[in-house]
Structure 1
Amino acid sequence: METLQRLYPIGIQTFSKIREGNYLYIDKTEYIYQMTHSASSYVFLSRPRRFGKSLLTSTLHSYFSGRKDLFQGLAMERLEKEWIEYPVLHFDMSTAKHVGKDELISELERKLTTYERIYGRNEEDIYVNQRLQGLIERAYKQTGRQVVVLIDEYDAPLLDVVHEKENLGVLRNIMRNFYSPLKACDPYLKYVFLTGITKFSQLSIFSELNNIENISMDESYAAICGITEDEMLSQMKEDMERLAAKLNISPEEVLLKLKENYDGYHFTYPSPDIYNPFSLLNAFADGKFGSYWFGSGTPTYLIKMLDKFGVNPSEIGPKQAKASIFDAPTETMTNIAPLLYQSGYITIKDYNKILDLYTLDI
């Protein structure tokens, strides 16, 4: 009997769609349980593009919505006992790229309107920060439960203008204003989670949110996005065997080829080897080894910043960096190494604890 074709969730970032459609899902729910039951209820995670940030955010949405049915057979089913449904406000900022001041405000208003249809709107709330605060307060009062706020790609409206001092200042002020109620609404909030590419900085857009925990380089969350070799060998064993059969090579040779092409991401030190999920899933779906992640395009902001710092792509190679530069505000940084790292073009290869010095390379 012929086995059913494996469904790979390429381009699908919605957890419910993956689970209901029986697509491959690499179980990250144990990390989610750990993260949502830690001391901090304000969390920020940075990862490169196409690394699963949006899927992680969507999984959190389903979890906080009490969708126990979607977690059958996953670690979360064993860990979670209560399954409480909280009101969730989920904002995807990737729709606000390449926009000016008026378009950005309009896009934020459109996102707020979606939830105001559910929880209502106070006509006295005019500006986006007032409307967000009103939404949170009403959602809390109407449901009797604290509110979860999920913001995916918080920095998307700013990245493409990071090299433009005037535009950056204008758009940054709009976004800072929009996010400002998150601190004032603390009594009404259950959990706040933000993702992005650039590192969180207290000197930048989140100056008001001084209580947020940046887990981007936390060893216990090193594999929260991407696919580890252990996960591949345990949850994708059949996929590797199918690929080996198609290419007429051994599974061991497949592993070496996959390692050579898609492995080597480290988001702290020490860290397990992390495989790029976008490339890995495309390779299994196509039955060949292609340059999928790189072929999906180099971000405009990175090209502009390479130009600003006078760095040619051919010069991207071994670099050393102090840990402190990873927290420098992106808009005032004097070294492009952190942005190359955050964007996924170079990774951590070594760390000298005595000197507090990271070695970074392609």
Structure 2
Amino acid sequence: MAYVDKTALVARIVSLSAERGYFVNRPPKFGKTVLLDTIATYFKGNREAFRGLAIYDMQMPWEEFPIIRFSMNDGKAELGKEIEEILASFYGVLRSSSSEGYVRFCYVTGNTKPVKSTLTSSLNDLSSIDGTSPELSTLCGFTRDEILSTFGPELSEFAKKVGKGEDEAMKDIEDNYSGYNWHLFGDKAGLVFNPYAILFVFKCMAICAYSVEEFLMPEWLRNLLKQYKSEIASIIGGSVRKYGRPQSIIELLQSPDLNSVRLIMWEYGLLTADFTSADNAGKCRFPNDKVSSVVWEVIQESLWLII
């Protein structure tokens, strides 16, 4: 069984200042839960669980801490405002507890990042891991180098199966599953692949298309794409700023516009961008061919309905 060792990056995260909370937002199936499990195992002081991995030989304080984990996966959309009010109070306690030294490490993750709203007035001190360093922005997902070093035998078998050289076969995989960029000015080495997709490719030994269902696209997002089907093309190639603090996703959906659609597509992994200028501006693009095909598939559903 192959394992992409991210524990050296985990060591960097858990060594960051305890006075501020941190968050990582990634689309579905990008390894967020596995990352949480890894961090929790470290804070249990269980060094033996990491034998053979990078963090095992690092000079780390292997102390055991009580671990509290909360999941909001069962929250219902129609209770959005009520949930925001509850979470605003909850995160306010977390923030004050962290600053007062009662919480060793506070980490928040999900499909979308916290943004300014009633809820996140209590989260203004959260720091994005992506803004910390280019390396930490690759914490979730596989880089090209990680695939080459970890899945060498699988890549060789895949290349033989499709009748291509390894470089050409890797290029096919890149075109279809790579291209996600979460760090400003990140170079090609910082682009990441969807890990679920890579594991699926090497299991099936084929380039497979996503279905909308496999992409875990919620119904409200599908409806939003259909509503703005005529404007989606204008988003691609358009300018976007990396760091902005708009309203919450709930508020964006109450009165959506083209900018709202762009933001939501970004948060759900349907868009990324290449940043090349000092003013944090970049050009929007689909991360890869497979994501592009999923978006157009959803839009075409509405076109068929019209016909």
Please indicate the TM-score interval, normalised by the length of the shorter structure. 0.7 to 0.9
1:225 and 2:137 correspond: no
Mapped partners of 1:341, 1:25: distance in 2: 28
1:26 counterpart letter in structure 2: V
1:317 and 2:236 correspond: yes
1:259 and 2:174 correspond: yes
Distance 1:323 1:258, change over 3 A: closer
Structure 2 counterpart of 1:50, from 29, 32, 39: 29
Q: What is the identity percentage for the equivalent residue pairs of Structure 1 and Structure 2?
A: 23
Q: What TM-score comes out, normalization by structure 2 length?
A: 0.79
Paired residues for 1:27-66 under 5 Å: 27-40=5-18, 41-66=20-45
**Aligned equivalent of 1:69:** 48
**Aligned equivalent of 1:330:** 249
Check conservation: 2:143, 2:191, Cα contact below 8 A: yes
Mapped partners of 2:285, 2:246: distance in 1: 19
Distance 1:36 1:67, change over 3 A: same
Distance 1:332 1:30, change over 3 A: same
Query: C-alpha displacement at 1:26, in angstroms?
Result: 0.7
Number of equivalenced pairs = 271
Query: C-alpha displacement at 1:44, in angstroms?
Result: 1.0
Distance 1:246 1:322, change over 3 A: closer
Question: Residue 93 of structure 1 aligns to a residue in which SS?
Answer: coil
1:175 counterpart letter in structure 2: L
Distance 1:225 1:185, change over 3 A: same
Q: What TM-score comes out, normalization by structure 1 length?
A: 0.68
Check conservation: 1:263, 1:276, Cα contact below 8 A: yes
1:278 counterpart letter in structure 2: Y
Distance 1:247 1:293, change over 3 A: same
Question: Residue 216 of structure 1 aligns to a residue in which SS?
Answer: helix
**Aligned equivalent of 1:168:** 80
**Aligned equivalent of 1:341:** 266
Mapped partners of 2:95, 2:131: distance in 1: 24
Distance 1:249 1:284, change over 3 A: same
Structure 1 counterpart of 2:123, from 206, 209, 233: 209
Check conservation: 1:61, 1:90, Cα contact below 8 A: no
Over the residues paired in the alignment, what is the CA RMSD in angstroms? Answer: 2.4
Question: Residue 120 of structure 2 aligns to a residue in which SS?
Answer: coil
2:117 counterpart letter in structure 1: L
Distance 1:291 1:63, change over 3 A: same
Mapped partners of 2:268, 2:251: distance in 1: 17
